[in-house]
A and B are shown apart, each in its own frame.
Chain A
């Protein structure tokens, strides 16, 4: 009963975040059809896209790993004949599927009530590139989140680290509140140097067909580069950390 209540409240919270952004941009647009380089339908599609990609890309259970390392619960998992990455990625997938189902249900209700114009790509290849970028982003987030979690082998302050890098920087720099390109250009330049924009912002720019084919390929290649880096980091940090593991309380 408590778990079901938690899930309902969690979905409610996601829905409230979506509504806040939705009404903010509706108020900003008012009678305008275009603002800061986005047509109204594109901006609303971006907001809906944030809700969807939060479920697909950012939906995760591997955040629990840090707590399990600190509490010693990890012992129960490492004793099983399971690959650690496949175990946590499977958990992530289940969480994503559950959240995706409810996200689409909630969005369908909002779309049915407000009947606002929604942006769909005009070219078939956009759907394919978008899907490919989302898959890359999902893996990138998994390894990035894994790296933050395994820091728990060395520090007790895992919640603070995750809150700063896995919540604050992630949500703002990924474009999970608003499109990055509405910010001043000096700030954009800093944000583009991080891996975060490849999680939400670039997939949605591809969906909105606001970047050229060359730029999309460039984004995919950079995302792939970040993915390789975080995969390598996750693998090595896990191996080093596992040797360091004291199974406190386990």
Chain B
């Protein structure tokens, strides 16, 4: 098992390095994307500071906590984009039938669809973000060590959940050849957790917990950091992540059984 994981990691690093080379060769586009990502983050940040400077409170959270929600949202969102960027390139593989070639390789069937592309620009964005996040939390005295380790565990659980959802979209793509809008629906719904999800009405919160569980993905790790998460919430989060992973794998294998190798 350990040997297999190490082998997959090695393949992933090789694929990622090639993706990075390809991106850095088209440096003009890379710079524009990087500027865009930074500008978007900074403008939202300035907006939040400006509004919270006057409001002092959002759904019972103080400005520091709202900023923390925003930072956790960015960490989870960008990490998932960094790791599972392959889904954006999966449709052409299915439509052309070229995915057949990947199925012949001694790799898990989901490797190419999910990990086939890694966005190095997201990695560049993540480094300063993690540094600022740690500085913000520890310098303001918000983070306690126990809560921080719990956050790391729940952050990992969020990545598992992100993987499960991206695998689900790939399965839908195999069945319908449609993926782009579904991924964007996921991104729009996760954007709803840019702010504490407590601002939404109960019905919407339930949708955000049990359909595409963005509450588990972002709100729960943020609350763990603040030390305001119950043990039921913690266990429930791990359970939901595990359940989504199991269901996604089942659905993926079903979708593969229907794969018709369209154009080959």
Bound complex: CA of A88 vs CA of B176, how far in Å?
30
- Nearest to B27 among chain A residues (CB) is A157
A149 to chain B, nearest CB (A): 15
| B43→A9 contact, CB < 8 A | no
| A169→B51 contact, CB < 8 A | no
B238 to chain A, nearest CB (A): 27
Bound complex: CA of A35 vs CA of B29, how far in Å?
40
- Nearest to A16 among chain B residues (CB) is B188
B180: chain A residues within 8 A (beta carbon): 6
Judged by a CB distance under 8 angstroms, whether B105 is at the interface is: no
Which of under 10, 10 to 19, 20 to 34, or 35 or more describes the interface residues of A? 35 or more
Bound complex: CA of A168 vs CA of B40, how far in Å?
6
Tally A-B pairs: CB < 8 A.
Answer: 95
User: What DSSP secondary structure best describes chain A's contact surface?
Assistant: helix
B22 to chain A, nearest CB (A): 13
User: What DSSP secondary structure best describes chain B's contact surface?
Assistant: helix
| B59→A19 contact, CB < 8 A | no
Residue in contact with B54 in the complex, picked from A6, A35, A163, A177, CB distance below 8 Å: A35
A187: chain B residues within 8 A (beta carbon): 46
Q: Which segment of A23-31, A50-58, A132-140, A222-230 sits at the interface?
A: A23-31
Map CB proximity to A onto B172-201 as digits: 1 under 8 Å, 0 otherwise: 000011101110110011011011000111
Bound complex: CA of A169 vs CA of B204, how far in Å?
30
Bound complex: CA of A168 vs CA of B43, how far in Å?
10
| B199→A36 contact, CB < 8 A | no
Supply 11 further A-B pairs (C-beta < 8 A) apart from A13-B184, A164-B36: A5-B178, A9-B185, A13-B185, A17-B191, A20-B195, A26-B199, A27-B59, A168-B39, A177-B47, A182-B47, A187-B46
**A residues with CB within 8 A of B:** 2, 5-6, 9-10, 12-13, 16-17, 19-20, 23-24, 26-28, 30, 35-36, 155-157, 159-161, 163-164, 167-169, 172, 177-178, 182-184, 187
- What are 14 inter-chain pairs, A to B, with CB distance below 8 A? A2-B176, A13-B188, A16-B192, A23-B199, A24-B199, A27-B195, A156-B26, A160-B33, A163-B32, A163-B33, A164-B36, A168-B39, A172-B39, A178-B51
